[in-house]
Amino acid sequence: MERRNFLKSAANGLALAGFSGTAMAAASSPNISNKAKFTLKYAPTLGMFSKNAGNDPVDNLKFIADQGFRAVYDLGLIGRPPAEQEKLVNEGRKLGLEWGQFSVKTGGGPHFVLNKKESKDELKAKMQDALEVQKRTGINTGLIVLGNADPKLHTEYQTVNVIENLRMCCDIVGNAGLVLVMEPLNTLVNHPGVFLTRTTQAKMICVAVNHPCCKMVNDLYHQQVTEGNLIPNLEMCWDYIGSIHLGDNPGRNEPTSGEINYRKIFQWFRDRKYDEVLSCEHGQSKPGKEGELAIIQAYREVDPDA
Per-residue pLDDT, 109: 84
- The pLDDT, as a whole number, for residue 108 is 84
Q: Read out DSSP for the chain? A: --HHHHHHHHHHHHHHTT--HHHHHHHHTTSS---PPPSSEEEEBTTTTHHHH-S-HHHHHHHHHHTT--EEB-TTGGGS-HHHHHHHHHHHHHTTPEE--EE----SSS-TT---HHHHHHHHHHHHHHHHHHHHH---EEEE---B--TTS-HHHHHHHHHHHHHHHHHHHHTTTPEEEE----TTTT-TTBS---HHHHHHHHHHH--TTEEEEEEHHHHHHHT--HHHHHHHHGGGEEEEEE--TTTS-STTSSS--HHHHHHHHHHTT--SEEEE----SS-HHHHHHHHHHHHHHHPPP-
- Amino acid 34: pLDDT: 72
pTM for the full predicted model: 0.89
- CA–CA separation, 70 and 40 (whole Å): 8
Whether the CB-CB separation of 95 and 61 falls below 8 Å is answered with yes
Name 39's Cβ contacts closer than 8 Å, sequence gap at least 6: 266, 270, 303, 304, 305, 306
Angle at 284 between CA 184 and CA 85, to 5 degrees: 65
Inter-CA distances, 225 with 33, 198, 242, 248, 282, Å: 36, 10, 20, 10, 14
Q: Note the pLDDT of residue 306.
A: 52
pLDDT tens, N- to C-terminus, the chain (306 residues): 343 443 444 434 333 333 333 333 443 444 445 769 999 999 999 999 999 999 999 999 999 999 999 999 999 999 999 999 999 999 999 999 999 999 999 988 889 999 999 999 999 999 999 999 999 999 999 999 999 999 999 999 999 999 999 999 999 999 999 999 999 999 999 999 999 999 999 999 999 999 999 999 999 999 999 999 999 999 999 999 999 999 999 999 999 999 999 999 999 999 999 999 999 999 999 999 999 999 999 999 999 985
pLDDT at 33: 58
d(CA 118, CA 99): 32
pLDDT of residue 28: 43
CB 170 within 8 A of CB 180: yes
Closest CA to 272 of 70, 39, 65: 39
The pLDDT value given to residue 305: 83
CATH number assigned to the domain with residue range 39-302, chosen from the 4 options 3.40.120.10, 3.30.470.20, 3.20.20.150, 3.40.50.300: 3.20.20.150
